[in-house]
Amino acid sequence: MRVYTNGGHKDYNQIVTLNLLPFTVYVNRDSTANNLSLKDMAEKFKVTMDSSSEKATLVHVLEEKAFHFKECGDGLYIT
């Protein structure tokens, strides 16, 4: 998979299953970040965002546990 950004493009050729979330994703081991699909997360988990209080997305994996993805700029979110 090739991903284009304002800094050029990056190829993601390996497929792995994540340890923390039950997803198979494309990765590039030389990259500082890898990509998750909001669509895929929303199909398996409750996903919420209240941008009036914080620019962050919460992925509720259990009733008492949520992963917090905070905006880091350029429309990207990290945890």
The domain spans of the chain are 2-78
Q: In this structure, what token pair is assigned to residue 4?
A: 């284009």
pLDDT of residue 45: 93
Between CA 58 and CA 46 the distance in angstroms is 8
* Phi–psi pair at 42, nearest 5 degrees: -70, -25
The overall longest dimension of the chain from CA atoms, in Å, is 39
Using a cut of 0.75, tell me whether the model's pTM lies above it. Answer: no
When the pLDDT of each residue in the chain is averaged and rounded to a whole number, the result is: 86
Q: Is the pLDDT of residue 48 over 90?
A: yes
Q: Put residue 47 in one of left, alpha, beta given phi > 0 → left and psi -120 to 50 → alpha.
A: beta
